[in-house]
Structure 1
């Protein structure tokens, strides 16, 4: 096997990965996604918080689906259930966080019994929609106020 064959194979593999990522991104965005940054407690060293990850969020009934931008996964990377999500804090991003978050983003710290605490950052328009979705519930269900 020559070096040329290895290089061509590697370039072909990179091309397939890039095309898959672009296709996934386009499909998620086309189906009504909003730009959302997310981070969660890693569970390591006393609940250390991971860095921010940019992604696309979509609503599907009682669930908020989050798709990481740089992921080859076919489905959502995180699924948040409306009935199990509780906002514990609302804040402005720190100076260090501003460069990684959407412009004008607000940060919500949320708890859920399904997994580690998370922080969600989105622009004010998306935040209004998210809070409306979180506070709304089908008849017979009661969800605590989110705002």
Structure 2
């Protein structure tokens, strides 16, 4: 009887956690989020990709890790300082770790280490448009 109760408690906990993650994912997608994979420290050959949702919030691009309990963004990128240094197709097994038909962008930002962002064609178009748009009189970063 005690084992059955323990199993029931574990299953209930897993169901609550799965429901929370599902609601979080749907809420972020409905609020204008796009599927984006991110890899910090790209010069390290062993650095892995992390799946997440990217959202445009005014002058920043906020990235939320899929498997995170944090409500806020895990990484924040400022449009004014973010620049694209290189673009490439996923190589080898990377294609399985990033969104479908993704393009990988190597981005640099003043005072920060380079990162790589991988996103599909639709998300890429939106990202480049957001990055290149700027209020009149402001310096534009090189986006493509």
For the criterion TM > 0.5, the same-fold answer is: yes
Which residue of the other structure, out of 86, 90, 101, is the alignment partner of 2:87? 90
Measured at CA, do residues 120 and 84 of structure 1 come closer, stay the same or move farther in structure 2, by a change above 3 Å?
Answer: same
Q: TM-score, normalised by structure 2?
A: 0.88
Does the 8 A contact of 1:106 with 1:122 survive in 2? yes
Task: Give the C-alpha shift of residue 47 in structure 1.
Answer: 5.2
Q: In structure 1, list runs of 5 or more residues that go unmatched.
A: none
What is the CA RMSD across the aligned residues, in angstroms? 2.1
Moved over 3 A (4+): 46-49
Alignment-derived partner of residue 27 in structure 2: 27
Q: How does 1:120-135 map to 2 (within 5 A)?
A: 120-135=117-132
Q: TM-score, normalised by structure 1?
A: 0.86
Q: In structure 2, list runs of 5 or more residues that go unmatched.
A: none
Does the 8 A contact of 1:20 with 1:72 survive in 2? no
- Distance in structure 2 (CA, Å) of the matches to 1:48 and 1:112: 21
- Distance in structure 1 (CA, Å) of the matches to 2:112 and 2:138: 22
When the two structures are aligned, how many residues end up with a matched partner? 144
- Distance in structure 2 (CA, Å) of the matches to 1:116 and 1:70: 23
Does the 8 A contact of 2:89 with 2:103 survive in 1? yes
